[in-house]
């Protein structure tokens, strides 16, 4: 009898933790795109989501994740090191998860002014820059960890969002 009561209590706690964590993923958080976040274990992501295409990735530990087929994930040392998604078009993206917005309100299609800084982002020239795209970056803190948020802008609108551990 004690075991049944203990099992019922454990199940109730796990169910409420699942509901709370599920609700948490709906609110914007730095370092996350959909349910995929920086620092998650590679094997857990593969177990729960599966792997999609790998030929579109340039690094060995990179894959599109099947459950969120629109999100590209880079794994380093057995953990998620970066996540990105892009609008269909020049970056050959397939979109971000429906309703995805960063905590600062930036989403695909957000208009960006022609300036050197905006909302804490600064313009920068990435090593593999494309001549017709502008790049922006912003560093934020996630607990004790630094996260760099990257935006790719074409024709004054955000077409790509990426987040990476520093």
What is the rounded CA–CA span in Å between residue 83 and residue 94? 14
Q: Is the pLDDT of residue 157 over 90?
A: yes
Phi, psi of 151 (to 5 degrees): -120, 140
Phi, psi of 89 (to 5 degrees): 140, -135
Q: What is the pLDDT of residues 45-81, one digit of tens each?
A: 888 877 665 544 555 566 556 545 568 888 888 999 9
pLDDT value of position 24: 38
pLDDT value of position 79: 92
pLDDT value of position 148: 96
Q: Is the pLDDT of residue 1 over 60?
A: no
Mean per-residue pLDDT for 30-46?
89
pLDDT band at 13 (very low <50, low <70, confident <90, very high): very low
pLDDT value of position 151: 95
Q: Does pTM top 0.85 for this prediction?
A: no
Q: What is the pLDDT of residues 126-141, one digit of tens each?
A: 887 777 789 999 999 9
pLDDT value of position 71: 80
Q: What is the pLDDT of residues 80-114, one digit of tens each?
A: 999 988 887 655 566 788 889 999 999 999 999 99
Domain ranges of the chain: 1-28, 31-165
Q: DSSP characters for the chain?
A: -HHHHHHHHHHHHHHHHHHHHHHHHHS--TTEETTEETT-BHHHHHHHH-B---TT-SSTTEEEBSTTTT-EEEEETTEEEEEEEE-SSTT----PSTT---TTS--TT-B--SSSEETTEEEE--TT--TT-EEEEEEEEETTEEEEEEEEEETTEEEEEEEEE-
pLDDT value of position 130: 73
Phi, psi of 118 (to 5 degrees): -165, 125
Torsion of CA 36, 28, 23, 82, to 10 degrees: 10
What is the rounded CA–CA span in Å between residue 144 and residue 103? 18
Mean per-residue pLDDT for 13-18?
30
């Amino acid at each position: 009898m004690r075991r049944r009561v203990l099992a019922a209590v454990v199940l109730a706690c796990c169910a409420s933790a699942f509901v709370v964590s599920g609700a948490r993923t709906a609110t914007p958080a730095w370092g996350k795109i959909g349910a995929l976040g920086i620092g998650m274990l590679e094997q857990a992501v593969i177990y729960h989501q599966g792997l999609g295409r790998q030929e579109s990735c340039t690094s060995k530990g990179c894959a599109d994740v099947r459950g969120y087929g629109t999100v590209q994930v880079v794994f380093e040392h057995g953990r998620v090191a970066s996540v990105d998604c892009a609008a269909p078009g020049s970056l050959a993206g397939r979109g971000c998860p429906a309703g995805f917005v960063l905590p600062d309100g930036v989403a695909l299609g957000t208009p960006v002014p022609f300036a050197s800084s905006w909302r804490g982002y600064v313009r920068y020239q990435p090593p593999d820059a494309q001549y017709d795209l502008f790049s922006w970056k912003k560093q934020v803190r996630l607990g004790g960890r630094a996260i760099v948020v990257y935006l790719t802008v074409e024709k004054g609108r955000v077409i790509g969002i990426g987040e990476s551990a520093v």
